[in-house]
Each structure stands twice: as structure tokens, then as C-alpha cells.
Amino acid sequence: MVSGISTAGLGLPDYQRALLQHATYIEALQACGLQVTVLPADEDFPDSTFVEDAAVLTPACAIIARPGAASRKPEAELIAPVIDQFYTRIHAIEAPGTLEGGDIMMVGQYFYIGLSERTNRAGADQLIGILNRYGMQGSVVELADVLHLKTGLGYLENNKLLATGEFLAEPEFQQYKLLPVDPHEAYAANSVWINGTVLTPMGFPKTRTQIELAGYKVLEVDVSEFQKLDGGLSCLSLRF
Ligand code: CIR
């Protein structure tokens, strides 16, 4: 994973530390009541620890993604047999579409799709078409500064949305109770609601307090080594 794509400028991840953090992350998911399937590492794909990007999982069906990053494209084939164990209705994004799961934010039956360097219009259109077949809807949000949509957004259910930077003024997010994340803590916008608890990255006290004041129990998880690879908390798992 130390060879993963990175623009963070935070230096190389410490592999041993990353392994410990990954184990603690799994424990945090379990503490929230989830059953966790841990996949074997694939040394050929240094970014494959960010499994969230390889698929989109909805209550009705699964969609195998088609990563926009060239080095990550084969991750879709790697995740497919795993998804097969859990879903019967499985679709796939096809060329020329590209789509990475980090660009998809689920709000009930509605899916926001970030148009980014990784997810293109064709990929978004295909996803919307699949969602529509199951009575779900989706729409696109153009990204300016961030890697993925969920780099700067975290939906905490109950109509509450953690948001930072470019997303704060986005008209379609004004219908939510926005919890603005301090620009110095932007990384913590990628927090995850699981069964009433919010998992948030360690070391972002303002955001933690804000989430607590919004009425949630908070569990901090140290993912500093994954931050060095531009990866957030949500990217390390596929939750369904
Ligand atoms: C990448 O650039 O693809 C990885 N280094 C980070 C992916 C992070 N995934 C995510 O935000 N969903």
C-alpha cells in the first residue's frame, strides 16, 4: 500500500502502523454491530485497500464500479466474486463509463454522484439508469477541488450532512442540516454513520465536538497512514 496513489504530501505511509490501524478500524466496525469480511491483501494493487471505490452497494442491488484511475481498473474484477457472495442482483459500469464508489453518497433511496477525475458522465448516467430500474434515483454533482465526493461530505442520516469547502454552498445540499467542517479539519468530513454511531478520524477535535453536539455517539479511529494516500475512513470498507 505504500506505493498507492498520493497527492497528500504527507510522506510515505508506515506499513506496520497501517496494519495496526486497519485492525483497529475493523474492531470499530464490529463495535458498531457489523459483521466484517476481511479480504486478503493483493500486493499487485496498492490502492485496493480502499475497497469502497470498487463497487456501489444498495439495498436492492450491487453495482461493480469501473475505476477511473488506470492502476485501479483491475480492482473491479477482483471485487466481483466477493460481491457475488452477498448479492443476487449485480450490475457493472461499462466502458466508456468510469465510476469510483468514493464518488457516490447514498441518502436513503437517493444517490449523489460526484463528477470527478475518476467518475465521468457516462459512468454516472449508467448508474442512474440502474438505480431507476429499482425505483431509486440519482443526480450528479460537479467536483472542483476534491478527489471524490465523499472526500468532502459525510451523510450522518437524520437529515444531517457533514460538509466542507466547495459543498457548503451547493444548492442541493441546503435541504439538509449542514454541519460545516472547519477547513483545517477538512479530512474529517469523511466520517461514517453506522447504526447510530459516527466513526470519525482521530485528531480532529472541532469536528468531533460538532458531531457530538448533533446528538451522535462518536468513535475516533486513527487512519493517519491511509490519509497519506488520500484515503478517508469510508474508503476502507464497503458497508451494506
Ligand atoms: C486513490 O487515489 O485512488 C487512493 N490513493 C485513495 C482512494 C480513496 N478512496 C476514496 O476516497 N473513496
pLDDT digits (tens, 9 = 90+) for 128-183: 999 999 999 999 999 988 999 999 999 999 999 999 999 999 999 999 999 999 99
Which of residues 78, 113, 146 is at a domain's end? 146
In this structure, the answer to whether residues 51 and 30 fall within a common structural domain is: no
The answer to whether the CB of 102 is under 6 A from ligand 1 is yes
Q: Based on the residue annotation, tell me whether 148 is a catalytic residue of this protein.
A: yes
How many CA atoms does the CB half-sphere of 224 hold within 13 Å?
11
In this structure, the answer to whether residues 120 and 135 fall within a common structural domain is: yes
Please state the atom number of ligand 1 nearest to the C-alpha of residue 190.
11
Whether pTM > 0.85 for this model: the answer is yes
In this structure, the answer to whether residues 156 and 113 fall within a common structural domain is: no
Q: What's the domain count of the chain?
A: 2
Mean predicted confidence (pLDDT) in 112-124: 97
Which of residues 80, 115, 146 is at a domain's end? 146
CATH (domain of 197): 3.75.10.10
Q: Which of 114, 195, 198, 108 is closest to 148 using CA atoms?
A: 114
pLDDT digits (tens, 9 = 90+) for 74-117: 999 999 999 999 999 999 999 999 999 999 999 999 999 999 99
In this structure, the answer to whether residues 104 and 184 fall within a common structural domain is: no
In this structure, the answer to whether residues 167 and 211 fall within a common structural domain is: yes
In this structure, the answer to whether residues 197 and 213 fall within a common structural domain is: yes
